[in-house]
Amino acid sequence: MLDSSKNQYPPLPLIQTWVWMMTQSGDTDIQKKGQNNLIASFGSLAKANEYIVKQGKG
C-alpha cells in the first residue's frame, strides 16, 4: 500500500531545471515560470530548497 502521507515531488532533474530557469535565465518570464513551478510543487521556495539539499545528501 502506498504511503499517502509522503509527498510526491517531480523528478530531481526537472526541479534542477526550474532552479536554473529561476536563477540563470536572463528572461524574466522564464525566471517567473521556474519560480512558479517550484512554488506550485512544494508550497514555497524554502521547502523546495530543503528538498534539493536533502537529495544532495542522499
Q: What pLDDT was estimated at residue 4?
A: 41
**DSSP SS3 for 7:** coil
Q: What pLDDT was estimated at residue 57?
A: 81
d(CA 20, CA 7): 23
Q: What pLDDT was estimated at residue 5?
A: 45
Q: What pLDDT was estimated at residue 20?
A: 96
Residue 53 has pLDDT above 90, yes or no: yes
Each residue's pLDDT tens digit, 10-48: 999 999 999 999 999 999 999 999 999 999 999 999 999
Which pTM was predicted? 0.83
